[in-house]
Chains A and B, each alone.
Chain A
């Protein structure tokens, strides 16, 4: 009885992963997922950081009113709509008539999406620094910009590293909707195997396991960094 299960398992395994090198759907997909996540996080970092600075300048000086308005519009729209809808709009509507690399589209979509969330993270980080730090910097003769880069940002960035890494974890999972524009990421890879072998269990569980392992590793890194930061925090 038991041996029968083992042999079914073996057959399933071979059928789903070994035959026709189907495991490649998973490894290739994983690479796509990692690439998407990595570049989208970077793009989001640039967007988020810029927006946080614009909004902070506006909050403090009242300048940049129009840019600030655009930022708020962007934040409202991006955070108020599902990422998969944003992805499809960018692919089918905005780039609908142009042939553009799917992966690039996805990086744009996820980066633009993540930027909105990272903007809020940076903003919270900047706001967590007491007013007195800006005042002390300015009173010494530093410009707003110098005070921001030398005094506020180093403290704010340190405070937001763990939250930013959590955003990476979120994004890693969110890229799983890339299949909607027929991009073969990890999830899509598992799904392709399922459609070839007509067995859902193995490929989908394998996909889930791979995500889980990556998330666990990232969480472990967050923990390590948090501990490291609090140890170095000579406060």
Chain B
């Protein structure tokens, strides 16, 4: 999937994030290529969410560069709102807008930010809804849906902007166990369509099966990365071995 001739979609250089005195990210350098499905794993509090949220500047990095589409998005002169339109994000808590119908949730951003017509935005939303099996819920409100359904809608909401990359922060961690599968299934389909994805997850099965690369974050940096088979079968780093010993 990685095309050596193409420059990376996201190129992270010496990314640092401090919260006061606490250094959470200590100079991370990593490339994310088009079509990559990167799974980020690591112990709780190691900074996985912080890393992901720095990629679209929901958390403001304290140092380094993030080159996305050839632009350093950490440059104060870049219009981050414009770049965020190309980076979909899915949260642990879904964060659908409870005062809007599902359809409104899906169309408000494309209509407002991309000036899509109502017909066009709704047409595309229906198409995606159909694919996640929720077409009949378009006129319902978010809190009438189950957690798994809400998270699938949240994924569709991000997709409606036709993003170049999707960022997932533990998308199944807030779900009842019986609903995890339906969300992972949608993510797997996305990966099959070569969507570029960065997924923070505790679902080792998903990482093993779907990821093109798995990366282990601990102590403020990625300590190991590999394609999933090797990563899980043959870990090198001691901290990773210990971590896998606990979670597998």
**Which of B28-36, B78-86, B189-197, B233-241 forms contacts with chain A?**
B78-86
Contact B56 A139 (CB under 8 A): yes
A137 / chain B contacts, CB cutoff of 8 Å: 97
Contact B99 A155 (CB under 8 A): yes
Q: Is B71 an interface residue (CB 8 A)?
A: no
Size bin of chain A's contact surface: 20 to 34
Contact B95 A133 (CB under 8 A): yes
Q: Is A138 an interface residue (CB 8 A)?
A: yes
Pick from B56, B87, B98: contact of A155, CB below 8 A. Answer: B98
Contact A235 B109 (CB under 8 A): no
B14 / chain A contacts, CB cutoff of 8 Å: none
Contact A158 B99 (CB under 8 A): yes
Q: Is A225 an interface residue (CB 8 A)?
A: no
Contact B58 A142 (CB under 8 A): no
How close is A160's CB to chain B, nearest CB, in angstroms?
14
> What is the 8 Å Cβ interface bit string for chain B, positions 123-156, against chain A (1 contact, 0 not)?
0000000000000000011011000000000000
Contact A141 B85 (CB under 8 A): yes
Contact B91 A132 (CB under 8 A): yes
Contact A138 B143 (CB under 8 A): no
C-alpha spacing A93/B169, complex, angstroms: 59
Query: Which residues of chain A from 124 to 151 have any CB-CB distance to chain B below 8 Å in the complex?
Result: 130, 132-133, 135-143, 146, 150-151
Contact A139 B143 (CB under 8 A): no
Q: Is A65 an interface residue (CB 8 A)?
A: no
Contact A133 B143 (CB under 8 A): no
Q: Is A234 an interface residue (CB 8 A)?
A: yes
Q: Is A96 an interface residue (CB 8 A)?
A: no
B82 / chain A contacts, CB cutoff of 8 Å: 141
A154 / chain B contacts, CB cutoff of 8 Å: 99
How close is A107's CB to chain B, nearest CB, in angstroms?
33
C-alpha spacing A132/B93, complex, angstroms: 8
Q: Determine which residue in A135, A136, A155 has the highest number of CB atoms from chain B within 10 A of its CB, and name it.
A: A136
Q: Determine which residue in A132, A139, A143, A234 has the highest number of CB atoms from chain B within 10 A of its CB, and name it.
A: A139
Contact B56 A234 (CB under 8 A): no
Contact A140 B113 (CB under 8 A): yes
How close is B104's CB to chain A, nearest CB, in angstroms?
10
Q: A154-B99, A155-B99, A234-B141 are in contact. Are A141 and B91 (CB under 8 A)?
A: no
C-alpha spacing A143/B81, complex, angstroms: 6
A contact face: mostly helix, strand, loop, or mixed = helix
Size bin of chain B's contact surface: 20 to 34
Contact B58 A135 (CB under 8 A): yes
C-alpha spacing A140/B158, complex, angstroms: 7
Contact B89 A151 (CB under 8 A): no
Contact A138 B95 (CB under 8 A): no
Q: A133-B95, A142-B109 are in contact. Are A235 and B141 (CB under 8 A)?
A: yes
Nearest neighbor of A235 in chain B, beta-carbon distance = B143
C-alpha spacing A135/B58, complex, angstroms: 7
C-alpha spacing A142/B85, complex, angstroms: 8
Q: Is B157 an interface residue (CB 8 A)?
A: yes
B25 / chain A contacts, CB cutoff of 8 Å: none
C-alpha spacing A137/B81, complex, angstroms: 10
A143 / chain B contacts, CB cutoff of 8 Å: 81
Pick from B89, B98, B112, B144: contact of A139, CB below 8 A. Answer: B89
Pick from A130, A135, A142: contact of B81, CB below 8 A. Answer: A142
Contact B95 A136 (CB under 8 A): yes
Contact B109 A135 (CB under 8 A): no
How close is B143's CB to chain A, nearest CB, in angstroms?
4
Contact B95 A150 (CB under 8 A): no
Contact B97 A151 (CB under 8 A): yes
Q: A234-B141, A234-B143, A234-B144 are in contact. Are A140 and B95 (CB under 8 A)?
A: no
Contact B113 A139 (CB under 8 A): no
Q: List 18 A-B contacts (CB under 8 A).
A: A130-B93, A132-B91, A136-B91, A136-B97, A138-B58, A138-B81, A139-B84, A139-B88, A139-B91, A140-B109, A141-B84, A141-B85, A143-B81, A155-B97, A234-B98, A234-B140, A234-B141, A235-B141
A residues lining the B interface (CB < 8 Å): 130, 132-133, 135-143, 146, 150-151, 154-155, 158, 234-235
B residues lining the A interface (CB < 8 Å): 56, 58, 81-82, 84-85, 87-89, 91, 93, 95-99, 108-109, 112-113, 140-141, 143-144, 157-158, 161
